[in-house]
Amino acid sequence: MTFVSATPGFTKTIVQQAPSADATINPPSIKRSPDQTERESTPRDPSSKADVIIEGRTKDAVATFVEQLTKVNRGHQISRWNTMACPITLGLNSEQARYLTERIRSRSREFGVPVAGQSCSANIVIVVTNDADEFTRQFLRRYTKLFQDTSSGISELAPLRGELLQSRPIRWLNASRTGGAGGGSLGQVYSGSRLRENSQENAILLLAIVDASMMRGVKWGQIADYLTMVALANPRMDARFRLDTIMSIFQARDAGGLLPTELTANDRSFLRALYRTHGAASAVQQRKQIESAITK
């Protein structure tokens, strides 16, 4: 997890600076209405060849899959949404924005993530722009101090900046805060076993930047489910997935392969396990619990 000191004021500023709604974000690949796109998406046949291959997944492959979806800072636990999540989509017309936001809301509830009502302070912020590179550069220039805060927990600033500045279909920044295992605040962070027994890592912010010019060949449902995985987990941006997952849509598209139409069985198993594991466990323990749940 990437750790930054996110505040309501910071999130409000992001919302104000993002591309305006009803802008000209409408590339040919996602030009159709959400309803039309959903009618054209056909769920994968459970008996298909791809799923037969997935049934033969190895423990090593599952362990790699879980590790790729749970990036953590050294010494920290796996972060997840233990308090209310509030998604918002910026830079699209109202219909498209509403579709993405509501699908993320629906998916989140499906896996037991607490979701706030409509009038809430956004902490899952999806920004869609035709110039993601420039938006990211401006973001990094504007919030330089954010990455200099020693309490933020960022230990590898240079690699993080490099990842954010690299052109890709979707890039993201997550933030979390260590709290008490029972959901309260934690006045002091303890080490060793006491950390695992008394604390949990609470997701508090996701900023995802979607490059509309790189959405060729993908549909609204796929984009929404990809963003759901980004928001609810914390995938590595540079990961190349071996198992069937919605996170592979751009990788598969560029290779001329078959794209998952929605969250896959692996994705669902992972998210169910992530939000059922004991949040106060260490990252190693959490990953083992998730791996065990997926392979059952």
Tell me whether residue 53 is in a domain: yes
Model confidence pLDDT, tens digit, residues 86-116: 999 999 999 999 999 999 999 999 999 999 9
pLDDT at 65: 96
CB 217 within 8 A of CB 49: no
pLDDT at 69: 96
Tell me whether residue 2 is in a domain: no
The number of distinct structural domains making up the chain is 1
d(C-alpha 213, C-alpha 180), whole Å: 42
AA letter at 131 = D
Tell me whether residue 1 is in a domain: no
pLDDT at 283: 87
pLDDT at 158: 62
pLDDT at 182: 61
Model confidence pLDDT, tens digit, residues 192-222: 444 445 878 888 889 999 999 999 999 999 9
pLDDT at 17: 57
Query: Hey, what are 130's tokens?
Result: 């035709």
CB 173 within 8 A of CB 2: yes
Distance of CA 276 to the CA centre of its chain: 18
Which position has the token pair 């008996």? Answer: 47
Q: How many helices, marked H, and strands, marked E, lie in the chain?
A: 12, 5
CB 150 within 8 A of CB 166: no
Tell me whether residue 3 is in a domain: no
Tell me whether residue 107 is in a domain: yes
Tell me whether residue 160 is in a domain: yes
Burial bucket for residue 30 (CB in 10 Å: 0-12, 13-18, 19+): buried
Ranges of residues in the chain with a pLDDT under 50 are 1-7, 20-29, 31-56, 150, 152-155, 187-196
- Any idea what the Cα angle at residue 220 is, between residues 214 and 221, rounded to 5°? 125
Instruction: Please choose, from the candidates 72, 64, 49, the residue with its C-alpha nearest in 3D space to the C-alpha of residue 1.
Output: 72
Residue range(s) defining the domain that contains residue 90: 8-295
Tell me whether residue 72 is in a domain: yes
pLDDT at 149: 55
Tell me whether residue 175 is in a domain: yes
AA letter at 136 = T
